[in-house]
Chains A and B, each alone.
Chain A
Amino acid sequence: MSKILIIAEHDGKKLSPASARCVTCAAQIAGGEITLAVFAADPGPIAQQAARLTGVAQVITITDARHAQSLAAVLAPQVVQLAASYTHIFGASTTFGKDLMPRVAALLGVPQISDAMSVESPTRFKRPIYAGNAIITVEVAANRKVVATVRTASFEAALDGGAATISAVSADAPAPTHTRYVSLSAAASDRPDLQSAPRVVSGGRALASKENFQLIYSLADKLNAAVGASRAAVDAGYASNELQVGQTGKIIAPELYVAVGISGAIQHLTGIKDARTIVAINKDAEAPIFEVADFGLVGDLFQILPALEAALG
């Protein structure tokens, strides 16, 4: 039987929606039993959220002041200590998971599957390569642990409705002091979160300034949407780095994605392929974004956006 350990992701207070998506992926492993591990200084509230997720059999908490911040160098040896009783170890392919899981895999001496997008069998998974321009099926050798990051955009979040048991365990592997947390500068925002929002409005280089980028925020507010950006817009300083969508930014799957003044380079498209409906606004009718857009509108964004906002009432 498969026993799957998911490393929960959180900000110290709340469980990340990415973890709920990992649960859905893990639940597709036939006959699997899912355990969520919460490493935190105060895991209580996070563990309670985790325990409510449908499909989770148990939640284990590892309370340790060292886990007030998530440092891969500190966490990896603890995960390895717990790993013995599991066949699969999963994390989300967020920056947290991409940092931690390869370190865990290497310590365990096994390869890792990055961005698992579908479960074919307990040892067989599909994953994208070349910015999603090809999909490979990979098979883990028999008797090796399966370590994977889960491509969150490929799985819906598991819903509440479960009642898993919560128990405290200890993981006390020596942790190095060679890596130290200093600070996090996060833009405080009460807008919907880019990675989980049902609607996203993104702006590209065409916005031409940080001031103009407010047009994107304004439309997003009207639609109750999260804000995203192309790499060009982030590089130019119109939007902050955590808003970048694409191969090397966030991979998202909203119900509605509105791309404004974005050309549609393959590196950008790979981040939005799974969006249910894509709207593109671009003055160049030949822009590649129109090849993937469900609804395209050719024209000048500086005229279209005010009109669109007005039409939305």
Chain B
Amino acid sequence: MQKIIVGIKRVVDYNVRVRVKPDGSGVALDGVKMSVNPFDEIALEEALRIKERGEATEIIAVSIGPDDAQQQLRTALAMGADRAILVKTDQAIEPLTAAHALLAIIKTEQPDLVIVGKQAIDDDAAQTGPMLAALWGRPQATFCSKLTINGTVATIVREVDAGLETIEVDLPAVISADLRLNEPRYVKLPDIMKAKKKQLDVTDLATLGVSIDDGLKTVHTEAPKARAKGILVKDVAELVDALKKKGLVS
């Protein structure tokens, strides 16, 4: 196998509890810590391991997002990606547009494998991987928790509601990474220095010939309904009593 493309999205760090703006126009992002989407780190880690096993020669990290997403691509380069491409857009885009942008990159790069996170923790849509596979006319293996490559065939264990499903796909294919696929490595300081010298190309949607699909618009953002504050009970007897009163235990 030659090339692997990995999707890298810049998102609000998973430790941040986001706040909705009072005017309902969105969530407040000023000064909030941004990171690589955790699932994308797992996707990249898997690609690195494949390369380290000698089963791939080049890993390209691709992000679609604002200019600042270069930071997340530098992190990907520091983790070990060979080069990076930013598809710059300042507009919020839907996964369908992201999938079209990735498809345009695929057409020039001709990868044998694309690995993305199963979802991004900002919009939680979980669409880009399967949408890309559909547009590309190639297999998808979503929620992957184990990946084995044997020549031109990949075997994937998928975390599904019923348990663990195993499927086999012909390459090239799109894989979406689940949490238990691996544990991403930490970036070391010398690698951050080295990453600064790696190639990072910047392009944009128009150059790729991708128009923004505006078939779905966010018209309002609100905070979720808060749960009413509960009480602390002092012991097991009081807990059982409370549950009995509510008819939850007999």
Contact = CB atoms under 8 A, between A and B. Distances in A.
Interface of A: 11, 71-73, 76, 94-96, 98-100, 102-107, 109-115, 124, 128-141, 144, 176, 178-187, 195, 199, 223, 231, 234-235, 240-242, 247-248, 250, 255-256, 266-267, 273, 277-279, 285, 290-298, 304, 307-308, 311-312
* 10 interchain residue pairs of minimum CB distance: A186-B163, A106-B134, A106-B131, A294-B230, A111-B216, A102-B130, A102-B127, A182-B166, A137-B220, A178-B170
Contact of B96 (A105, A185, A231, A294): A105
A113 B218 CA distance: 11
B133 A273 contact: no
14 contacts: A73-B133, A95-B159, A105-B127, A114-B126, A115-B124, A130-B123, A136-B222, A141-B214, A187-B163, A235-B179, A290-B230, A294-B227, A308-B239, A312-B240
A75 to B, nearest CB: 12
A240 B180 CA distance: 11
Interface string B215-247: 111111111100111111101110110110010
Contact of A180 (B169, B227, B230): B169
B10 to A, nearest CB: 14
Given A137-B218, A185-B163, A296-B231, A112 B243 contact: no
Interface stretch (B13-21, B46-54, B194-202): B13-21
B215 A296 contact: no
Given A105-B96, A186-B162, A241-B145, A248 B140 contact: no
Given A103-B140, A124-B219, A295-B233, 19 more contacts: A95-B158, A99-B142, A99-B143, A111-B94, A112-B125, A133-B17, A134-B223, A138-B219, A178-B138, A178-B170, A184-B166, A185-B164, A241-B164, A242-B161, A248-B118, A248-B179, A295-B231, A296-B230, A311-B240
Contacts of B184: none
B165 interface: yes
A78 B243 CA distance: 49
A109 B131 CA distance: 9
A171 B58 CA distance: 41
Contact of B162 (A134, A139, A184): A184
Interface of B is mostly: mixed
Contacts of A311: 236-237, 240
B13 to A, nearest CB: 11
Contacts of A140: 215-216
Interface string B175-217: 0001110000000000000000000000000000000011111
A296 B233 contact: yes
B235 A297 contact: yes
Nearest to B134: A106
Nearest to A16: B161
Contacts of B72: none
Interface residues on B, range: 35 or more
Contacts of B161: 94-96, 195, 242, 250
Interface of B: 12, 14, 17-18, 20, 27, 94-96, 99, 118-119, 121-135, 137-143, 145, 155, 158-170, 173, 178-180, 213-224, 227-233, 235-237, 239-240, 242-243, 246, 248-249
Contacts of A186: 162-164
Nearest to B160: A95
A135 B223 contact: yes
A111 B124 CA distance: 14
Contacts of B214: 141
A112 B125 CA distance: 9
Given A99-B143, A114-B125, A248 B243 contact: no
A295 B123 CA distance: 31
A95 B178 CA distance: 12
A234 B180 contact: yes
A277 B224 contact: no
Contacts of B17: 133, 266
A184 B163 contact: yes
A277 B213 CA distance: 41
A283 B127 CA distance: 39
B96 A106 contact: yes
A130 B124 contact: yes
B27 A134 contact: yes
Contact of A297 (B130, B137, B239): B239
A312 B160 CA distance: 34
Nearest to A104: B134
Contacts of B162: 11, 184, 186, 242
Contacts of B229: 291
A295 B96 contact: no
A106 B143 CA distance: 18
B22 to A, nearest CB: 13
A106 B27 CA distance: 27
B198 to A, nearest CB: 30
A134 B224 contact: yes
